[in-house]
Structure 1
Amino acid sequence: MYIEEMTAKMGEGQGFIAALDQSGGSTPKALKLYGVEESEYSGDAEMFDMVHAMRSRIIQSPSFTGDKVIGAILFEMTMDRDVGGKPTSLFLWEEKDIVPFLKIDKGLEAEANGVQLMKPMPGLDDLLARAAKLHIFGTKERSVINAANPDGIKAVVDQQFEVGEQVIKAGLMPILEPEVTITIADKAEAEAILRDEILAHLDAMDESKQVMLKLSLPTEANFYKPLVDHPRVLKVVALSGGYGRDEANDILSKNTGMIASFSRALSEGLSAQQSEAEFDATLKAAVDSIHAASIAG
């Protein structure tokens, strides 16, 4: 039953998805922005304890609820830990009415043809089976586009849909994330190639299947509207990609049907040193502004 309820919540989309999935490489930076210096922990175990404490604080905040935050993307270690005495995914769904997703990619290959493909994912079927048992609704898998290279972008999209098919077979909803780096000179050209490649795959998909897409905010407003409207797409979500929250919200609000899936733009301004009242007020301001931008279109 939870699959149908979660699908409906995502499809109606009156809110945004929180990206709480920083992994090994990005965790020290996330902690530093949160006011925790590398000198305050020793080794990976302590580092992941601290980032779990940060995520738990966000998830348990009174302002982090399913009326505005409709989904949350988790790192594998977060899925395997508890929040409020329950597995994180179950706490999100049962206590907060927030749909849980899992980041499944293992990082990026070295750049070739202007893109970075995903590294191999050994044991993915086992991970997906574990996720399904914990009522995880879907997955997220990221690759990166650094140039308007048709061969490279085709390879990225082919790989994304191949992994997406494996996720669908496991009974989960894939969020395909071919991120276009926002600072490249040929961003608009890369977006045009990417949109055409994605549309070709969507048009070839079986009518019984759907995917979600997580895309960089486009150069031209509503450029991804054909993807938003495609029957094989449950939802298109936007990553902040390095934009500050205000700029990301401004761009997002001009894109009809896209909702946010922000990470840095969500946690901006949060600090380990804040009192609970200060923390909750800061998070509430972020949630309210991102929610408003997500439903503006």
Structure 2
Amino acid sequence: MRSLARFAEMKRHGEKIAMLTAYDAPQARAQQQAEIDVILVGDSVGVNILGYASEREVTLADMAHHTRAVRRGAPDTFIIADLPFATYDSPEQAVASAKFLQQAGADAVKFEGAHPELVQVLATSGIPVCGHLGFEPQRCEKRVHGKTFEEASRIFEDAKALDESGVFMLVLELVPAELAAAVSRAIKAPTIGIGAGASTDGQVLVFPDVLGYGDRNFRHNRRYAEVGAAMREASAAYLLDVRARDFPTMANCSSMPSEALAQFEAEILERQS
């Protein structure tokens, strides 16, 4: 169901919102089949899929490409796409970037930081906005944000300002559970936590982390599969089968009909000998 009103209703009824990142059609298809509430095409695609050193390298073209792929895989799921670094430095740029991602299939966009003025401009242009506070991968050091009174107060006030400006949802990343709970109670928009405790209105995780693509795990994550190990094992087994001539067998290919083969051997192959 692709409706903004649904998320507000879920918050009112205390129903948790489940969000995952997705970067291609197969991932999105699996999530839609599982009835995930929201798919986030995150700029985390840079470090998780594209091999970039950081999210700051992700381009608007990258985001549009992966948003199109996700939309093809999940035509009926609500999709949020990240505005990448340096694509929303002015209201005009933010609107142009957001419209580009809308055309690629996004229902809404997300950007990092406390910029209520951008939320208002985007909303006026008919573009729903999800906010993002706490750890901001495009700009901040990766650590828990909000452990001091000063940081917690700033995040709390920034959340209220974004809420008043019209965000329909707010991601809280790597903030103390107590702060996330206070923000969730104080604002109308549903909050989505990642490393922010269980009191937010929903949760988001990075799909490759959930699937166990790499050896490294994170405190805020829960691995629900070990796909990385399975990919390595499958690659190694394939290599051994090819080297040992155990793959392919005739079960993996086709044969010519006997009459066609006889004619081919007589008229083509014999000429070559």
**Relative to 1, partners in 2 of residues 1:199 and 1:7: Cα closer, same or farther, differing over 3 Å?**
same
Partner of 2:81: 102
| Residues 192, 204 of structure 2: 8 Å contact kept | yes
| Structure 2: gaps spanning 5 or more residues | 44-59, 136-140, 214-226, 236-273
| Residues 164, 211 of structure 1: 8 Å contact kept | no
Task: Report the 3-state secondary structure (helix = DSSP H, G, I; strand = E; otherwise coil) of the residue aligned with 2:169.
Answer: strand
Higher relative contact order (CA 8 A, sep 6+): 1
Larger radius of gyration: 2
Deviations 1:78-132 (A, max 9, x none): 553379xxx33532542xx421111113259xxxxxxxxx755763322322333
Match status 1:265 vs 2:225: no
**Relative to 1, partners in 2 of residues 1:91 and 1:201: Cα closer, same or farther, differing over 3 Å?**
closer
Aligned-residue CA RMSD (Å): 3.9
Q: AA paired with 1:80? A: A
Aligned equivalents of 2:100 and 2:118: distance in 1?
A: 17
Match of 1:212 among 147, 154, 169: 169
Match status 1:223 vs 2:183: no
Partner of 1:165: 120
**Relative to 1, partners in 2 of residues 1:71 and 1:82: Cα closer, same or farther, differing over 3 Å?**
closer
Matches within 5 A, 1:25-64: 55-60=24-29, 62=30
Q: AA paired with 1:65? A: Q
Matches within 5 A, 1:9-24: 9-11=6-8, 12=10, 14-20=16-22
| Residues 18, 261 of structure 1: 8 Å contact kept | yes
Deviation at 1:177, TM superposition (A): 1.3
Q: AA paired with 1:104? A: L
Deviation at 1:139, TM superposition (A): 0.9
Aligned equivalents of 1:98 and 1:277: distance in 2?
A: 31
Identity %: 9
Aligned equivalents of 1:131 and 1:216: distance in 2?
A: 23
Matches within 5 A, 1:1-297: 5-11=2-8, 12=10, 14-20=16-22, 55-60=24-29, 62=30, 65=33, 67-75=35-43, 76-77=60-61, 80-81=64-65, 87-94=68-75, 97-107=76-86, 119=89, 123-143=93-113, 157=114, 160-180=115-135, 183=143, 187-189=147-149, 190-200=151-161, 202=163, 205=164, 209-219=166-176, 221-230=177-186, 232-233=188-189, 235-239=190-194, 248=195, 252=197, 254-262=198-206, 265-269=209-213, 270-271=227-228, 274=231
Q: TM-score, normalised by structure 1?
A: 0.51
| Residues 167, 174 of structure 1: 8 Å contact kept | yes
| Structure 1: gaps spanning 5 or more residues | 21-51, 109-117, 144-156, 240-247, 279-297
Q: AA paired with 1:191? A: A
Aligned equivalents of 1:15 and 1:184: distance in 2?
A: 23
Deviations 1:44-103 (A, max 9, x none): xxxxxxxx6xx344224x3563523532225544553379xxx33532542xx4211111
Equivalent residue pairs, number: 195
Q: TM-score, normalised by structure 2?
A: 0.55
Task: Report the 3-state secondary structure (helix = DSSP H, G, I; strand = E; otherwise coil) of the residue aligned with 1:10.
Answer: helix
Aligned equivalents of 1:10 and 1:213: distance in 2?
A: 11
| Residues 170, 191 of structure 2: 8 Å contact kept | yes
